[in-house]
Structure 1
Amino acid sequence: MEANGQYANSKPCHKNEKHGCGCREDVPEVMHRPYVQTGYRRIDQPLYYYVKSVFQRNNEAGNFWTHFLPFLYFAQRYIRMYFIYGNVPYALPFYAHGIGTCYLLLCSSFAHMLSARSKTSCQCAFAIDFAAIYTYGVGMKVPLEFYLCPTQHYWDVSSSVALTIFAVYCACALAASFYASENSWKSAIALSIGLYVVGTAILYGSCMLRYFISDAGFTSVEPMDTYHVSQAVGHHLSLHFFEQLLYLTIGLVFQASNIPERFSSRTFDIFGNSHQFFHLATAMAMYAQSLMLELVVIEIKGKYHGGHFLNDELISMSLGETIGQFLLSIVLTHFVVYLYWLYLRKGEKPKTS
């Protein structure tokens, strides 16, 4: 990037010795952020140095807090919801989404905290972050499958089989992303997003379009009979669905364009850069998803009495089919991360004394 003149006219970098921060040339290339010149932490430091760094001025502190604070919020939100709804079957998909949300935000936070220890630490930290993104995807598909878009409406497979297929698909897509990272992490990110969108579209695309677009009044097609929400609730579901798409689009625009740091050298290295706006936008999208799913849980609660549903057509939900599918995704994706770590260790050059 430097060779293309991206930083040719930028201001000289001054190290911040007080907080132990240096310039981009002081760290391996894999740790470089586009248009960010300063605030890079020292490598090969003790663990407490990186823990302490999130309370100091550097280019990862803001990235840490823009996902760790949402993690704290969602953790207390879903704990509170558990005390409201309890361990009832109809709430299990909602809890799966909550666990996936909290897990992704926590992995992202610690990836930004610990990524500067070494080149391998950086690659492994963000590999776990990638795995958490796919795991979150499965956590989102569980309530989508059981609440709104049962796969058997379009494919001749059960919900458990569909979710298992999607979990295996996510693990394979993650492996492909790691393979692409050999060329560049940008290629890996693009491939990761593309594969996730394709997998989602194959399993749920037709259902989501029919349910949300028709219910919002954009087409004359009748919404499919899934979890029998009222028309008023269905309209709010559609609004939250398009709200999350708006936040995700905003976040991706910031992430892809590197605005505003590309227009002002060093001004946004520490705070206010595109990655932090991307974090905030994704957190807001998660909040919209949570509101959407909670509306369904409230609606279903009125049809659940004495340990069974009043409507016999409602699909049964068990711990294995909901939380179990999420845990399966964690095992598969993190096994891929483990193989990737072994590959990185094999390629490491031995240290000479």
Structure 2
Amino acid sequence: MMPIMKFVDSLTPTTTKQEVPILFHEPHVETGFRKIHQPWYYYLFSLFQRHNECMNAWTHLIALLFCLGKFKSFSEEFDLINDPYMLPLVAGIMTTVMLYLCSFSAHCFHNQSELMHYTWFMIDYAGIGMYGLGCTILHYSYSLDQSLIGGILHDIAVPVAVCLAVTVCVCCSVSKVMYKRPYPFTRKIWQLSSVGGIYFLLIIPILQRIYLSIHDGEKWDSGLSHHTQQILWFLSAGFFFGSDIPQRFFPGKFDFVGHSHQIFHVCIMMTTFKKLDAVYEDIRQNREKYLMQLPMPSFMGTIGAVLLATLMNIIVVSIFHQLAKSKLLIEPKKKE
């Protein structure tokens, strides 16, 4: 570790917001900005440097590692390769890895240039949409009440989720390219409305189960307890994402630790953990009860849907990459 730390100490030091283009500014963040146009390895090794994106990157990396540990335990209990009823779980695993890998990479590498800033966060948005698709596949495969099975919503959930996964990437990319810093609140409406749309779809089976438990006296099982916690964590994430609290009240004091976006990441991490715990309990409790009586999951309704949405999002990112490139060519670079 000592040679690595000596190398990290030799990296280009961070600077204040006055020394970087306005595109990289964040509300109420004053210091800890990495300089642009550095070699790619600089941004990777800056994981061990003190800067204002360090904790954002680490929270996603830690979440990814913990999720991989959970996936390993799933593989030891379930036959993820040969059991067709595990295809939805494999699809959910794929999209969870996509979410954290895309988001980690965005926070790690976006400072390389203005164009890379746009592009990496478009990739981040694609990962968010893919995660929503994966959650939809999981919930409509393992976590729904029997009354939803075979209904219209059950039949169209995955195709609609594919469209919404791409919509998330499109809307968030529009919000990134269309607006300039300091961003207006309208930009967050673009983001929150698209993410809210796919979240509403994926959470319907859970809300129905909660309603049936409260209103009709259905059993409140351990899976539903985990689902309720994932909802609370997600709502907390939305609050910190949209509020800029606590740095709003103490500008410059939370540049490195305690920023609302870091808290947002932790809330999303907990949302993921509780979702995985909930799905595990749903599979364990309902596998023999009725899951095995469902139509066999299809490739196109699970992994195929993930691959299709991934391809479509690659196209979306490529288009908006070119739009961002054109924007940077015609607009003068501005600094505050």
* Correspondence for 1:252: 238
Percent identical among aligned pairs is 25
Q: Aligned ranges for residues 1-353 of structure 1 at < 5 Å?
A: 20-86=13-79, 87=81, 88-149=83-144, 156=152, 159=155, 161-181=156-176, 182-184=178-180, 187-201=186-200, 203=201, 207-215=205-213, 218-220=214-216, 231=219, 234-302=220-288, 309=292, 312=293, 314-349=294-329
1:45-69: CA deviations, max 9, x gaps?
1101111111101001111101101
* Bigger mean CA deviation after superposition, 192-201 or 247-256: 192-201
1:5-35: CA deviations, max 9, x gaps?
xxxxxxxxxxx99751111121222211110
Decide which structure has the larger Cα Rg and report it. 1
Greater relative CO (CA pairs within 8 A, separation 6+): 2
What is the Cα deviation at residue 325 of structure 1? 1.3
CA contact (8 A) 2:247 2:254 kept: yes
* Bigger mean CA deviation after superposition, 35-44 or 81-90: 81-90
CA–CA distance in structure 1, aligned partners of residues 202 and 261 of structure 2:
29
Give the TM-score normalised by structure 2: 0.84
SS in 1 for 2:33: strand
Give the TM-score normalised by structure 1: 0.81
CA contact (8 A) 1:96 1:139 kept: yes
Gap runs ≥5 in structure 2: 1-8, 331-336
Answer 1 or 2: which has greater helix percent: 2
Q: In the superposition, relative to structure 1, how do residues 276 and 158 fare at CA in structure 2: closer, same or farther (>3 Å)?
A: closer
CA–CA distance in structure 1, aligned partners of residues 23 and 275 of structure 2:
33
TM-align CA RMSD = 2.8
What is the Cα deviation at residue 200 of structure 1? 4.6
CA–CA distance in structure 1, aligned partners of residues 202 and 116 of structure 2:
36
Gap runs ≥5 in structure 1: 1-15, 224-230
CA–CA distance in structure 2, aligned partners of residues 46 and 136 of structure 1:
30
CA–CA distance in structure 2, aligned partners of residues 84 and 149 of structure 1:
22
Alignment: residue pair count: 316
CA contact (8 A) 2:88 2:138 kept: yes
